[in-house]
Amino acid sequence: MIQLFHLFKNFGANVALQDISLRVRKGEFVFVTGPSGAGKTTLLRLMFGAEKPTSGHILINGINLNRIGRKKLDLLRRKVGFVFQDFKLLTGRTVFENVALALEVRGERPSYVRKKAHLALRSVGLVKKEQSYPLQLSGGEQQRVAIARAIVNDPLVLLADEPTGNLDPDLTREIMLLFRTIHMKGTTVVVATHSRELLQETAQRQVILNRGRLIGEK
């Protein structure tokens, strides 16, 4: 599903990733861990095609990101959902609109958009809040909206960067449960986190980064 071959990423003189080779299989759940500055965010952004590697190759579903143009990259990105630590919701739009917009920009039919947005919000338990605005919700609820937005198009892969970084322990557990449910339905899930607490409670695969290098696995 995701294959990385000898990936390097520099930002000027700053080396963010060094010689990362990694394979994430279809339907896997993987944590990317390591201290702040280890390269987790950079790795996820590369997997999303939001950054280009300095050298090395990234294959998503067998497609080499280096070798495809803008249009094909956009099409491929539709199959990858991304969840951020700070939610990145549009505060001037309702919960429903935030989720629906992800499909509207793709030119989907209004009836289809309504149905899918509703289903996505149902799967994160937020149907009752559809007409609320993000800032009327708790942090945990806002992150659930962001997750609904990320899964509304049935992605093959869901990438989440410190998704519980702004949440307290109870909400963290709730959000992790949601990722597990999404994973059970067949989606490949990659979660980046520096949180030791989060990892103590899991039996999932962990890929450990330090200073841009892959230093081990658990």
Ligand X SMILES: Nc1ncnc2c1ncn2[C@@H]1O[C@H](COP(=O)(O)OP(=O)(O)O)[C@@H](O)[C@H]1O
Smallest distance, Mg ion to C-beta of residue 41, A: 3
Cβ 212 to ligand X, closest distance in Å?
Answer: 6
Q: Smallest distance, Å, CB 150 to Mg ion?
A: 17
Residues 33, 197: Cα–Cα separation, whole Å? 12
Q: Using an 8 Å Cβ cutoff, are 8 and 54 in contact?
A: yes
**Per-residue exposure over 91-113, b if at least 16 CB sit within 10 Å of its own CB, e if not:** eeebbbbbbbbbbeeeebeeeeb
164 near ligand X, rule: CB under 6 A = no
- Residue 132 corresponds to which amino acid? S
Residue 165 contacts ligand X per CB under 6 A: no
- Convert residues 28-57 into a mask of x (bound to ligand X by CB under 6 A) and - (unbound): ------x-xxxxxxx---------------
117 touches ligand X (CB under 6 A): no
Site for Mg ion in 124-153 (CB under 5 A): none
Give the nearer residue to ligand X in terms of CB position, either 65 or 209.
Answer: 209
The region that residue 151 occupies, defined by phi over 0 for left and psi between -120 and 50 for alpha, beta otherwise, is: alpha
* 41: contact with Mg ion by CB under 5 A: yes
With CB under 5 A as the contact rule, which of the stretches 37-45, 76-84, 198-206, 207-215 interacts with Mg ion?
37-45
Decide: helix, strand or coil at residue 75: helix
Helix axes 139-151, 95-104, angle to 10 degrees: 20
Residues that bind ligand X (CB under 6 A): 11, 14, 16, 34, 36-42
